[in-house]
Structure 1
Amino acid sequence: MAIKRSSKRYQVQHIALLGILTTLCYISRLLFQFLPNVQPVTVILLLITLTLGTRDGLIVAILSILISNINLGLGVWTIAQIASFTVIILLTGSLTILVPRIPFVGMILYAGLTGYIYGFVISAVQAPFFGIQNFWAYYLAGLPFDTMHALGNSGFYFILAPILVPIMNKFLKKYYR
């Protein structure tokens, strides 16, 4: 769905919504930091991309990673996290163009798949920075964490999609239709 952004009033409310969603990603990342790779951030970004579009998904992803990493620690992994979320958001944006209506169960499975995509891109970006000679051994060693991420994504999608999608759709109806 193309969002018509003509009025400055609507732009301010749109920026406010993106700020709230960025804060949601930041807070949820802090709340779940005790569980390795189980955080609702990926799912929130998927829902933003599906509902508001690729551009908004990228804005919230970059801001939430930068802001949360200021608190949790900046490093090479920040670049890898931004790269991973960028790949996932671009894939999701492309998927919505190719397949406009994806069933709920299909999206739960796709959310799980994004946990593995995230882990692969993280490994591909970080391995050269850390001087890792055998990428596949490095990647395979991280598969248990990717599996936790995938299972967490599927569970969070099941819980969050029925809550967040209607809220974002209500915003779209109120300000852009």
Structure 2
Amino acid sequence: MKAREITLIAILSASLTAGKFVLSAVPNIEIITFLFIVYTVIFGLKRAFFTSIIFTTTEILIYGFGTWLLGYYILWPMLILITHLLKRTINSEYGFAIVAAIFGFAFGLFFALFESLFYGIEYAIPYWLSGIPFDIVHGVSNFIIVLVLYTPLTKTIFVAKQKMHIV
């Protein structure tokens, strides 16, 4: 990797951390899903994947280590891979908004299944059921965020990418 590539990944990772911090006071409304979708579409699979690894590792320094963190190492790359596979067939912000909504609705279920590996299914079921209201907020807010911000942010980042001569 070149210095420019490393710097780009660091900046993208820092923007994720800043975005998470800014919205941390509002339960289950986040900008991480949206930014990973945008970064995957604009910068590609490899850069988005490395960004997710750096972002998730940085989470350890801020919030400490927990089983949830291991889920992040799976979940964010999975979103990036899904976005990468769908980006040729999705032609508008509506398609990505639907992807983000489904991701938000399924977030709690994924973590319930993941936590069941550590604590058993008898822990996972009430964990998931108690989180359904949060998952609804998560899915709806993801949909709205992507729908409203996808086009203006992708245009802005694309112009910046060209000015910085990033291929």
Q: Aligning the two structures, in what range does the TM-score lie when normalised by the shorter sequence?
A: 0.7 to 0.9
The answer as to 2:112 corresponding to 1:147 is: no
Q: Which runs of 5+ in 2 are unaligned?
A: none
Q: CA deviation at 1:136?
A: 4.1
The answer as to 2:27 corresponding to 1:36 is: yes
User: Hey, what's the Cα distance between the residues in 1 that align with 2:129 and 2:83?
Assistant: 25
User: Hey, what's the Cα distance between the residues in 2 that align with 1:56 and 1:155?
Assistant: 25
Q: For 2:80, which of 73, 81, 89 is the aligned residue?
A: 89
Q: For 2:13, which of 14, 22, 25 is the aligned residue?
A: 22
Q: For 2:62, which of 66, 71, 82 is the aligned residue?
A: 71
Q: Percent identity?
A: 21
Match of 1:3 in 2: none
Q: Kindly report structure 1 stretches of 4+ aligned residues shifted beyond 6 Å.
A: none
Q: 1:65 to 1:152 in 2, by over 3 A?
A: farther
TM-score where L is the length of structure 2? 0.85
Q: 1:25 to 1:169 in 2, by over 3 A?
A: same
User: Hey, what's the Cα distance between the residues in 2 that align with 1:152 and 1:73?
Assistant: 26
Which segment is superposed worse, 11-20 or 28-37? 11-20
User: Hey, what's the Cα distance between the residues in 1 that align with 2:119 and 2:26?
Assistant: 24
Q: Could you list the per-position Cα deviations for residues 21-51 of structure 1 after superposition, in whole angstroms to 9, with x for gaps in the alignment?
A: 1111101111211222211011101111111
Match of 1:156 in 2: 145
Q: CA deviation at 1:134?
A: 6.1
The answer as to 2:106 corresponding to 1:129 is: no
Q: 1:165 to 1:64 in 2, by over 3 A?
A: same
Q: Which runs of 5+ in 1 are unaligned?
A: 1-7
Letter in 2 for 1:168: I
Aligned pairs, how many? Answer: 166
Contact (CA 8 Å) 1:88, 1:118: kept in 2 or not? no
User: Hey, what's the Cα distance between the residues in 2 that align with 1:165 and 1:14?
Assistant: 19
Contact (CA 8 Å) 1:57, 1:89: kept in 2 or not? yes
Q: CA deviation at 1:137?
A: 4.2
Indicate the RMSD between aligned Cα atoms, in angstroms.
2.2
